[in-house]
Chain A
Amino acid sequence: MLDIFDILGPVMVGPSSSHTAGAVRIGSMARTLLGSTPVEADIGLHGSFAETGQGHGTDRALVAGLLGMRPDDMHIPRSFEIAEERGLRFSFRKLQLRDAHPNTAVLTVKDAEGKELVVQAASLGGGRIRVDKINGVDVNFTGAYNTLIVRHKDVAGELSRITNELAVGGVNIANMSVFRDRRGGDVLTVIETDQKLKPDVRERIRIIYAVNDVTYYEKEDA
């Protein structure tokens, strides 16, 4: 659902809301999901991102996002130089994916401790994005809401323990999806919420027995 500031906005560095602003958001989403500062990034471009990406600054925009910039940051055109100053190594290659949105990027990011994450995301137009895969697991969320991503074991009652903490914290769930690779395996639960999640709520979820880790994305200028 679009609000009026999706129509009149975003305030952004040009030239394309899908190929530039959306690309910044994809990079910044990957950084948030990694949960730390990336020092290495392998960036695969698919479809129109691969074909016309350079002319739209898609490459510089993705790197800018990985550096934590927002779509209106005037330093986006200089992101390659800034990445070098801050010690972020990056490389690009073209990809051909099956059944992917024409504006798709796959980012493999690594932090200084060697923690690695693979994010596949698409830029849908108007600067809006959608995350399609995390570490190969299908997901579907946009960053239009505050988003909690919980990786946990596939055991009975786990969801109720997680959602109970949200209820206690006064947080309303807008959308929720559960993705698992196999019965009894790993589960990725993605919860989009109307309210922001305070650190203590996140911490109480993190220490639930079968929870492996918790990642949180807070909506831009909510």
Chain B
Amino acid sequence: MALDSMREICEKAEQGQKPFWRVVLETDIEEREVTEEASMEKMRFTWKAMLESVENYREDRRSVSGLVGGDGQKMRDYAKNGTPLCGEYLREVIATALCVGESNACMCKIVAAPTAGACGVIPAVLVPLYKSGNAGEEEILQALYAASGIGAVIAYRACIAGAAGGCQAEIGAASAMAAGALTALHGGTPEQISHAVAMALKNLMGLVCDPIAGLVEVPCVKRNVIGAVNAVSCADMALAGITSRVPVDQVIDCMGEVGRRMPVEFRETALGGLATTPFGKSVKEQLESKNG
């Protein structure tokens, strides 16, 4: 997309006296040569698919390795019947992130946001607000435009693939997108959105991509939880008036730089990190003997 910095989006918002999300929408209209209705319709389709990815969760599904499945339901049950430390919203955020991450590992339909491995983060923060009636569909779609504009800038300046920049580029990017979306949804200014994005990305900087047996299962599913919870805290900090001392575009560039200098063992190759723990290696061996 033709938006190559957060600063550019903020300046366009200020000059045109329009919200952050509208700058992204108008860029999409211009670039893909579509009408506003057509763009909105596609975003609505994307949102519906996200909602379905949460609703279609089933606790009895298991992933290829058998390591993943059922945790989303455990968290849902505990949220309902237990005494969670988290408040009502945050416990739903955790459960939703697990449900969508597990569904992805079990070959169900999800929305890559920005990748399949990080698909749980954005639905985790938005779907509970929608279901509890605290956000309507129009507001959600606007928040998704904000999220996608942020993701486009990160993709342009840094990267959004674990193979290119580690988990910080997948869960980190998703978390930044979610933080910006939540800030926009709660009436934050473009400046506040930028601070939320910067803080979210900084908090996950350096996170490696180390999937056991190379599968999008362990630790990916639970990393969706930290991405989502981090987004909520960063959005609240930004809305409280707390600022990132390092400007957002510099943080994004820095994430890209950390990614480029990250050893290849920590970039989705399954040659380091949790993948090469004794447990990680044993899972890989078991799978190999099973597949011949």
| Distance between A23 CB and nearest chain B CB, rounded to angstroms | 12
Q: Bound state CA distance, A2 and B217, in angstroms?
A: 27
B1 pairs with A9, CB closer than 8 A = no
For B144, the chain A residues whose CB sits under 8 A away are 8
Would you call the interface of chain B mostly helix, strand, loop, or mixed? helix
Knowing A8-B148, A16-B117, the reply to whether A55 touches B287 (Cβ < 8 A) is: yes
Name the B residues within 8 Å of A74 (CB-CB). Answer: 109
> A15's contact among B42, B147, B149, B216, by CB below 8 Å, is which?
B216
Chain A proximity of B19: nearest CB distance (Å): 16
Given contacts A4-B24, A4-B28, A72-B109, contact A14 B216 (CB under 8 A): yes
For B273, what are the chain A residues with a Cβ–Cβ distance below 8 Å? none
Verify if B135 is at the interface (C-beta below 8 Å from A). Answer: no
Q: Do A48 and B214 form a contact, CB below 8 Å, given A14-B105, A57-B107?
A: yes
Q: Does A54 contact B117, Cβ atoms closer than 8 Å?
A: no
User: Looking across the interface, which residue of chain A has its beta carbon closest to that of B162?
Assistant: A125
Residues of A within 8 A of B287 (CB): 55
Tell me whether A20 is interfacial, beta carbon within 8 Å: yes
Sorting the interface of chain A by its residue count into under 10, 10 to 19, 20 to 34 or 35 or more gives 35 or more
Taking a contact as CB atoms under 8 Å apart, the answer to whether B107 and A7 are in contact is no
- B111 at the binding interface (Cβ < 8 Å): yes
B119 at interface, CB cutoff 8 A: yes
| B12 vs chain A, min Cβ distance (A) | 15
How far, in Å, is A24 (CB) from chain B's closest CB?
Answer: 12
Query: Does chain B have a CB within 8 A of A134?
Result: no
- Answer yes or no: A96 CB below 8 A from chain B CBs: no
Q: How far is the CB of A21 from chain B (nearest CB, A)?
A: 7
A168 proximal to B (CB < 8 A) = no
User: A10: which B residues are within 8 A, CB to CB?
Assistant: 111-112
Give residues 116-147 of B contacting A (CB, 8 Å): 116-117, 119, 122, 144-145, 147
Question: B60 at the A/B interface (Cβ < 8 Å)?
Answer: no
Give me the 5 closest cross-chain CB pairs, A-B, nearest first.
A14-B104, A52-B214, A7-B151, A4-B148, A125-B161
Residues of A that sit less than 8 Å from B by CB: 1-18, 20-21, 48, 51-52, 54-57, 72, 74, 76-77, 102, 125-127, 194, 221
Which residues of B are at the interface with A, using a C-beta cutoff of 8 A? Answer: 1, 24, 27-28, 31-33, 42-43, 45-46, 49, 63-65, 103-117, 119, 122, 144-145, 147-149, 151-152, 155-156, 160-161, 163-164, 177, 213-217, 269-270, 287, 291
13 contacts between A and B (CB under 8 A): A3-B31, A4-B27, A4-B151, A9-B112, A15-B104, A15-B105, A15-B217, A17-B112, A18-B163, A55-B215, A56-B215, A125-B115, A221-B42
